[in-house]
């Protein structure tokens, strides 16, 4: 197998990483190499022969070494999970009906001791505490606050808010040009305060083919916390998605954030697993909890 002939580059974005297409007689795949997160993501794949999974796994291992990556992960149809487990992957979480007619299992392979978590005790405590929180309607905003869908003119304020909330983030959301480039598949929900200042943001990263969406990019100014703004944005985005016939939503939330795990418990999401050291957020690699829901 020729590594150089099997790989073509596609859509680089500065030093954050790049997308690659893999072409072999036995398998074709699209993967994302994130240098910033030291992680390789399997975006899609098509096994063309019985050797396809062996060749794919071998090629990904080669790339992990070449780019000094310590985690490979992907959302795999449940019916094919055993193929990946046999290649040394671990099932970390699941997402209901991600593929319309099948659940996704989030599978990962680790290198360089990245599978060693430092936050399991605090995550366990948070999950135990939020499990007792009842679901609730969260549609009301403080007087004078209002919700809107982001337009290009809002995105400078959005990137500024991210800079105030996060030390690091898995994607270049501090750059409003990046945010503009994502508007074709990401819906940003915003809450402005009674002083017409952006107070909170969250987004729905949509997958139109499978009609699922990741609810992500939650950020609220420190002085605006405790007002339920994230829950309002989540509920509004869900309504938009439901009206567009989306059926499966999920999130990957910081395992050490009591507030964010509470938001999804209250919104009737199901906790479905923890991704160990999944991404570079808030200053380092963190475990992330997966929560999912059918609309």
Parse the chain into domains and list their residue ranges: 3-110, 120-294
Could you tell me the fold of the domain covering 120-294?
Aminopeptidase (3.40.630)
140 HSE (CA, 13 A, CB side): 4
Please tell me the least confidently modeled range out of 3-12, 179-188, 241-250, 267-276.
3-12
What's the CATH superfamily of 3-110? Gcn5-related N-acetyltransferase (GNAT) (3.40.630.30)
Beta pairing, strands 248-254 & 71-77: unpaired
pTM for the full predicted model: 0.94
120-294 shares the fold of 3-110: yes
Q: pLDDT per residue over 227-268, tens digit each?
A: 999 999 999 999 999 999 999 999 999 999 999 999 999 999
Q: Is 214 in contact with 205 (CB distance < 8 Å)?
A: yes
How many angstroms separate the CA atoms of 155 and 197, rounded? 13
C-beta pairs of 193-196 under 8 Å, 24+ apart in sequence: 193/142, 193/144, 193/145, 193/224, 194/142, 194/143, 194/144, 194/145
pLDDT at 50: 96
How many angstroms separate the CA atoms of 261 and 158, rounded? 22
Q: Indicate the pLDDT class of residue 5, thresholds 50, 70 and 90.
A: low
């Amino acid at each position: 197998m020729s590594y150089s002939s099997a790989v073509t580059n596609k859509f680089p974005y500065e030093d954050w990483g790049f997308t690659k297409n893999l072409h072999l007689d036995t398998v074709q795949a699209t993967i994302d190499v994130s240098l910033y997160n030291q992680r390789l993501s399997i975006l899609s794949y098509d096994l063309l022969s019985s050797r396809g999974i062996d060749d794919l796994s071998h090629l990904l291992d080669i790339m992990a070494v070449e780019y000094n990556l310590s985690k490979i992960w992907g959302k795999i149809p449940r019916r094919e999970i055993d193929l990946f487990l046999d290649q040394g992957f671990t099932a970390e979480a699941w997402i209901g009906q991600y593929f319309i007619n099948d659940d996704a299992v989030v599978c990962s392979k680790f290198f360089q001791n990245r599978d060693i978590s430092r936050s399991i005790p605090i995550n366990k405590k948070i999950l135990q505490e939020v499990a007792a929180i009842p679901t609730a309607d969260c549609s009301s905003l403080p007087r004078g606050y209002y919700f809107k869908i982001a337009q290009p003119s809002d995105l400078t304020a959005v990137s500024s808010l991210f800079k105030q909330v996060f030390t690091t983030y898995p994607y270049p959301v501090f750059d409003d040009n990046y945010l503009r480039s994502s508007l074709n598949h990401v819906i940003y929900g915003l809450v402005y305060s009674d002083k017409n200042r952006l107070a909170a943001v969250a987004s729905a990263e949509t997958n139109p083919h499978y009609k699922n969406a990741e609810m992500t990019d939650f950020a609220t100014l420190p002085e605006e916390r405790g007002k339920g703004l994230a829950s309002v944005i989540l509920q509004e985005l869900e309504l938009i998605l439901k009206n567009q016939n989306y059926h499966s939503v999920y999130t990957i939330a910081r395992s050490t954030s009591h507030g964010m795990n509470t938001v999804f418990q209250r919104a009737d999401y199901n906790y479905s697993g923890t991704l160990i050291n999944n991404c570079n957020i808030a200053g380092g690699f963190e475990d992330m909890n997966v929560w999912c829901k059918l609309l």
